[in-house]
Amino acid sequence: MATQAQDRTHTEATASHVDVLIVGAGISGIGAAWHLQHQTPQKCFAVLEAMDSFGGTWVTHKYPGIRSDSDLYTFGYRFKPWVGPPIATADEIRAYMREVIEENELARHIRYGHRIHSASWSSAEKQWTITGTKGEGEPFTVTANFLWMCQGYYRHSQGYTPEWEGKDDFKGAIVHPQSWPSDLDLSGKRVVVIGSGATAATLVPAIADKCAHVTLLQRSPTYFYPHPNSNELADRLRQLEVDEAIVHDIVRKSILFDQAEITRRAMEDPESVKAELLEAARAYLGPDFDIDTHFTPRYRPWQQRLAFLPDGDLFQGLAAGKASVVTDHIKRFTKTGIELESGNLLEADIIVTATGFNLCITGDIEFEVDGKAVNFADTVTYRGMMFTGVPNLVWIMGYFRASWTLRVDLVADFVCRLLDHMDARGAKKVEVALRPEDHNMPLLPWIDADNFNPGYLQRGMHLLPKRGDKPEWMHNQDYWSERAELPLIDLDDPAFHYS
Ligand SMILES: Cc1cc2nc3c(=O)[nH]c(=O)nc-3n(C[C@H](O)[C@H](O)[C@H](O)COP(=O)(O)OP(=O)(O)OC[C@H]3O[C@@H](n4cnc5c(N)ncnc54)[C@H](O)[C@@H]3O)c2cc1C
């Protein structure tokens, strides 16, 4: 006879109706599943994932050297100690996620190879109907009381490559890091990596020894933070045989404290933070390196994510002459490389376009509420989690400046509290709506470009929900204030409508 646990396992693996449907098995979706299991064990839930594996970002990206650019004490979940070096490879992050899945028996909730195409809310039935395809294109339908979007923020199928004149003339290979060919042979090749973000900074040192030469071609410089890939406090606590859960907690707090400090200083006194970052670069690159041209950004530190360079690897490669950096604008591609605005020519056999992502905020799912198509750009966000006119839906958009996952834990606490609150009220539907005092509020773009302005957000701002000018109606990107505010949200505030 089947045990209760076996029955439940079977039901969750195949159920055509669930209490909560999680979209995506990336670091957000797996975190969401853990929280549901621990905080609302009475809820039946499923995770639908388009790919054949968990990991999301850490599966899609397979380029050489792929790693985190923030530390895993904060990119890891608060409930699962990180025991490795702070900066981790994609494989290490997936191994960590695998442990979370195995230790908590989450696999029984996950349906791989399920791509969702549409989600339709019915106020009469008070549920979502989700359709998609699985396997070889076989259609499926699942209904759910609540939809938890953990779809990430960019389109996994294709990265962003700008149109350049003459691109088709180039005789070599053009590769985007998001779809790195496993058989790409770099030996003896001259490689140009276009881009200046974390991906380019990771790739260049990772391939410097494998090709004839690699050039980092950037339009404008980025701030980098070179630091050994170790954490002194963690090492010391481990030497003292402190329990790993305590090490995780203390090191996390210490890193967050330091980050809060640097954020504060970067906003209050950007010039001195800038000077420190440039000085750190100079320590690796030497006094003769043209830091003014190549590593002195025009923006203020922290207006974009500060990319960590473990052991200053990019700078070491440049200093050793294995790699070089060119700061210039592309005029056109030629048969043999790239012609720059300065008139210089960069000869190349392979051009890597580390030029970013295509923003995709809804996992390419067509949304409908009571038969009417939803355009998220017409909605107003409740704290970057919920949206006016879209009931029973929360999404996770993590932090861009701090580790993304810090927000996964915070939003998960909110969702579990909201689900419990709905049960306590006997409500089947929750929706956020502007309160009378909000009606004259200016509706602004999702994020203030002066505060944070990476290219993919600038390019996709028209797709994103609107923000107001009150804390309730914006995603403020500030972990330190949200850490205090989100747990205190009054779920009976007039912004929440239950039925
Ligand atoms: C190369 C790279 C390095 C990064 N490094 C860091 C870092 O160090 N620190 C940091 O804080 N952030 C980093 N980020 C940002 C990073 O994307 C997030 O931190 C995090 O991994 C996002 O996790 P996620 O689960 O929210 O989304 P994703 O990792 O994007 O996963 C979303 C999942 O949802 C699935 N999905 C989407 N649509 C559908 C659909 N319609 N049906 C079914 N499934 C669907 C996808 O297949 C995917 O598996 C990095 C991003 C990149 C690209």
Tokens found for residue 215: 């050039």
Q: Is 486:414 a contact under the CB 8 Å cutoff?
A: yes
Q: Rounded to the nearest 10 degrees, how much is the dihedral formed by the CA atoms of 255, 260, 265, 266?
A: 90
Alpha helices in 104-231 (DSSP H): 198-207
* pLDDT average, residue stretch 73-91: 97
CA 422-111-4 angle, 5° bins: 65
Helices (H) and strands (E) in the chain, counts: 14, 23
Helix, strand or coil, per DSSP, at residue 357? coil
Contact 314/224 with Cβ under 8 angstroms?
yes
Are 373 and 349 in the same domain?
Answer: no
Question: pLDDT grade, residue 304 (50/70/90)?
Answer: confident
| Bridge partners of residue 382, in order along the sequence | 386
What is the total count of domains within the chain? 2
pLDDT in tens, 192-248: 999 988 899 999 999 999 999 999 999 999 999 999 999 999 999 999 999 999 999
Q: Given this model, what pLDDT does residue 5 score?
A: 44
Expressed in angstroms and rounded, the spacing between residue 279 Cα and the centre of ligand 1 is 33
Q: How many CB atoms lie within 10 A of CB 275?
A: 11
Ligand 1 atom nearest to 199, measured from its CA: 1
Atom of ligand 1 nearest to the CA of 67: 3
Looking at residue 301, its pLDDT comes to 84
Domain that holds residue 330: 160-357
Higher-scoring residue by pLDDT: 304, 406: 406
- pTM for the predicted model, two decimal places: 0.94
Distance CA 148, CA 32 (A): 8
Please tell me the distance between residue 56's alpha carbon and the centre of ligand 1 in angstroms: 5
pLDDT given for residue 13 in this prediction: 63
Residue 456 confidence class, pLDDT cut points 50, 70, 90: confident
In this structure, of 375-389, 391-405, 485-499, the range with the lowest mean pLDDT score is: 391-405
Residues 329, 363 within the same domain: no
Measured in whole angstroms, the distance separating CA 324 from the mean position of its chain's CA atoms is 29
Q: What is the spatial distance between Cα 297 and Cα 222, in angstroms, rounded to a whole number?
A: 5
Query: How many whole angstroms separate alpha carbon 132 and alpha carbon 109?
Result: 17
Quick one: pLDDT band at residue 453, thresholds 50, 70, 90? low
The pLDDT confidence band at residue 460, using thresholds 50, 70 and 90, is: confident
Nearest-angstrom CA–CA distance, 105 and 29: 14
- The Å distance, Cα 32 to ligand 1 centre, comes to 13
Task: Report the 10 Å Cβ neighbour count for 49.
Answer: 27
Query: Which pLDDT band, with edges at 50, 70 and 90, does 4 fall under?
Result: very low
Please give the number of the atom of ligand 1 that sits closest to the Cα of 402.
Answer: 11
- Looking at ligand 1, which residue's alpha carbon is closest to its atom 4? 68
Average pLDDT over residues 353-363: 92
- For ligand 1, the distance from its centroid to the CA atom of residue 395, given in whole angstroms, is 13
Q: What is the pLDDT of residues 164-199, one digit of tens each?
A: 999 999 999 999 999 999 999 999 999 999 998 889
Average pLDDT along the chain = 94
Question: Residue 3 — pLDDT band, cuts 50, 70, 90?
Answer: very low
Residue 446 to residues 23, 178, 348, 384, Cα–Cα distance (Å): 22, 25, 39, 9
**DSSP structure class, residue 444:** B
pLDDT in tens, 388-434: 999 999 999 999 878 999 999 999 999 999 999 999 999 999 999 99
CA distance 272 to 431: 45
β-strand pairing of 127-134 with 114-122: antiparallel
The residue whose CA is least distant from atom 5 of ligand 1 is 68
Closest CA to 395 of 57, 188, 151: 151
The atom of ligand 1 lying closest to the CA of 55 is: 49
Is 123 in the same domain as 216? no
Ligand 1 atom with least separation from CA of 177? 1
What is the whole-number distance in angstroms between the Cα of residue 459 and the centre of ligand 1?
18
Kindly state the tokens that stand for 194.
Answer: 């276009």
Q: Are residues 264 and 336 in the same domain?
A: yes
Distance 154 CA to ligand 1 centre (A): 8
Domain identity same for 178 and 243: yes
Report d(CA 401, CA 378) in Å as an integer: 26
Higher pLDDT, 411 or 447: 411
| Percent over 90 (pLDDT), the chain | 85
- The encoded tokens of residue 26 equal 């990336």
Q: How many Å separate Cα 320 from the centre of its chain?
A: 32
Read off the pLDDT of each residue in 301-323 and give the average, rounded to a whole number.
88
Q: Which of 371, 380, 362 has the alpha carbon at shortest distance from 123?
A: 371
- pLDDT score at 7: 47
Span from the CA of 27 to the centroid of ligand 1 (angstroms): 7
Would you say residue 341 has pLDDT above 90? Answer: yes
**Quick one: which atom of ligand 1 is closest to the CA of 202?**
1
Residues 146 and 171 in one domain: no
Residue finishing a domain among 309, 337, 357: 357
| 70, 110: one domain | yes
User: Ligand 1, closest atom to CA 87?
Assistant: 8
* pLDDT given at position 401: 78
pLDDT higher than 90, residue 142: yes
What pLDDT, on the 0 to 100 scale, is given for residue 487? 98
The dihedral over CA atoms of 270, 272, 273, 275, expressed in degrees to the nearest 10, equals: 120
**What does the block give as tokens for 137?**
């294109």
Torsion 315-320-324-327 (CA) sign: positive
The answer to whether residues 327 and 382 belong to one domain is no
Query: Residue 67 is part of a domain; what is its CATH number?
Result: 3.50.50.60
Mean per-residue pLDDT, 72-79: 98
> Which of 296, 322, 357 is the last residue before a domain boundary?
357
CA 350 to CA 352: how far, in whole Å? 6
Q: Are residues 448 and 299 in the same domain?
A: no
Is there a single domain that holds both residue 364 and residue 353?
no
Same domain, 488 and 374: yes
Q: Are residues 122 and 183 in the same domain?
A: no
Q: Give the Å distance between the CA of 404 and the centre of ligand 1.
A: 9
106-137 tens-digit pLDDT: 999 999 999 999 999 999 999 999 999 998 99
Instruction: Report how far residue 409's alpha carbon sits from residue 201's, in angstroms, rounded to the nearest whole number.
Output: 29
The set of protein residues with a Cβ atom below 6 angstroms from ligand 1 is 23-29, 48-51, 56-57, 61, 68-70, 75, 115-116, 150-152, 156, 199, 363-365, 396, 398, 403-404
Last residue of a domain, one of 297, 330, 357: 357
How many angstroms separate the alpha carbon of residue 41 from the centre of ligand 1?
26
